[in-house]
């Protein structure tokens, strides 16, 4: 038996012992190569994610967030312009509002923003729940039913349009 065969057999023994050891109550774990690879975990610029998220259908992302912010800014600007075009509030109302906001340390705009933020959070949560429900095996049949219902609903709308 040459040295080549001896080493092969040695390797096989090591593999066998390894397999036996791992079978002894060991729980399978994720194999992750670290040597030579890029550092795992958070990044100095990218935070906990460790990567600049250009797009993520579940978490959002840089472009997604920016476009959302942009549209929010645009709608806010449009609202301001509309308000400016309408009747200006009386001076006394303004003073009262200022006093109130100073007392509470929260301006009406901030309160509105906070309310919108809460609504957005709720929507995010319900969207996440919907995604998880879609993924779950239990949701499968129900999801099919939901799709059929959506189909029926669009059919009803089409029918309504036809009658008009």
Partner 1 sequence: MKKFSQLGLFTLTMAITILLILPSAQAVDFKISGQINRAVLWGDNGNDDDVKFVDNDNSSTRFRFTGSNEFNEVWTAGIVWEVEMQSNPSDSTDIDIGQNGDSTDVHFDERKIEFYVAHKNWGKIWLGQGDTASNSTSEVDLSGTDVVNYSSIVDMNGGFTFRDKDDNIILDSNGNNTSIGNVFSNFDGLSRRDRFRYDTPTFAGFYASTSFMNGQTWDVALRSAHEWENFGKLAGAIGYVPGDNQRDPYKQFSGSISFLHNSGLNVTLSHAFRNFDGGGRNTARNYYAKLGYKVGKWAFSVDGTRSERVDQNGDEGTSFGGAAVWNVWDSVQFYGSYRWNKLDRDNQNPANTSDPENISSVMIGGRVKF
**Measured from the CB of residue 129, what is the shortest distance to partner 1 in angstroms?**
14
Site for partner 1 contains 151 (CB under 8 A): no
**Is 1 among the residues that bind partner 1 (CB under 8 A)?**
no
Which residues, including other chains, have CB under 8 Å from residue 32's CB and lie 6 or more apart?
Answer: 40
Contacts of residue 58, Cβ cutoff 8 Å, sequence gap at least 6 = 128, 131
Is there binding between residue 39 and partner 1 (CB under 8 A)? yes
Taking the CA atoms of the chain, what radius of gyration do you get in angstroms?
Answer: 30
d(CA 50, CA 42): 4
Task: Using CB under 8 A, pick the residue from 4, 20, 86, 141 that binds partner 1.
Answer: 4
- 3-class DSSP state for residue 50? coil
The mark string for 80-119 relative to partner 1 (x by CB under 8 A, - otherwise) is ----------------------------------------
Q: Which of 31, 91, 92, 141 binds partner 1 (CB under 8 A)?
A: 31
Q: Locate 79 and state its tokens.
A: 């609202």
Q: Does 3 bind partner 1 (CB under 8 A)?
A: yes
Residue 162 tokens read as 């036809």
- Residue numbers at the binding site for partner 1 (CB under 8 A): 3-4, 7-8, 11, 14-15, 18-19, 21-23, 25-39, 41-46, 49-59, 61, 131, 134-135, 137
């Amino acid at each position: 038996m040459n040295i080549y065969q001896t080493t092969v057999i040695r390797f096989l023994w090591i593999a066998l012992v390894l397999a036996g050891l791992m079978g002894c109550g060991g729980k399978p774990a994720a194999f992750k190569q670290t040597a030579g690879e890029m550092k795992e975990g958070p990044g100095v610029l990218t935070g906990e994610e460790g990567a600049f998220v250009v797009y993520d259908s579940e978490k959002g992302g840089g472009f997604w967030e920016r476009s959302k912010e942009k549209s929010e800014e645009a709608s806010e600007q449009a609202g301001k312009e509309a308000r400016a075009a309408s009747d200006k509030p009386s001076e006394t109302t303004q003073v009262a509002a200022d006093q109130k906001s100073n007392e509470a340390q929260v301006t009406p705009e901030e309160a509105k923003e906070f309310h919108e933020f809460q609504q957005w959070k709720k929507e995010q949560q319900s969207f996440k729940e919907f995604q998880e429900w879609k993924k779950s095996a239990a949701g499968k049949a129900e999801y099919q039913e939901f799709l059929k219902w959506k189909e029926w609903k669009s059919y009803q709308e089409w029918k309504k349009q036809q009658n008009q």
